[in-house]
Amino acid sequence: MLESKATETALGTKVVMEYDQGSLDMFLAREGTETYTPSVFITATSLEDMRYEGELVYSPNKGLYEVVWEEDTPEDWEDIEEAANRMLTDACFSPVTVKVVFSAEDVKKMLNGTVLDESATVKVYDFNTKEESEAFLKGLAEGVGWHEHYVVSKDEEWMLPEHLREDK
């Protein structure tokens, strides 16, 4: 599933970055497979409604990512590249929240698609990076068999008590 981030440059150009969160690590490591090479796409729309499309690629000379434009290059391309690199950093190093349901009874309700009430045992953990959250989840997985837990995905937040939902 493609995710996106958007910003504007000083000249008012709207810049949208689209990427697959699941393959962002591969993209940053500049890795690919025979059948899949991850991409980050950039769309820039100027105040005059001129639309420019391109793809981020790593520039070893600059030590950062630059946009390779499909056709014309926009006037404020340097500002757009700077904005794209900022958005890429935000996508990789933005805080991550993990919500975990504990107790056999509450886990069973989640598995059955039942909305949890206010008495449910739900813990919310905030991490500074994706890597920190992944390390936590690995540790949590080691507890399987010792305790019941269920890691709640964004698509399942509707089953949590209302005060724990991100989109209320």
Domain ranges of the chain: 2-93, 96-164
Mean pLDDT of 8-36: 83
Confidence of residue 147 (pLDDT cuts 50, 70, 90): confident
For the chain, what is the mean pLDDT? 86
The tens digit of pLDDT for each residue in 113-123 reads 999 999 999 99
Confidence of residue 167 (pLDDT cuts 50, 70, 90): low
Pairwise CA distance, residues 45 & 48, whole Å: 8
In the prediction, which pLDDT does 27 show?
81
pTM over 0.85? The answer is no
- H or E segment at 54? strand 51-59
Confidence of residue 168 (pLDDT cuts 50, 70, 90): low
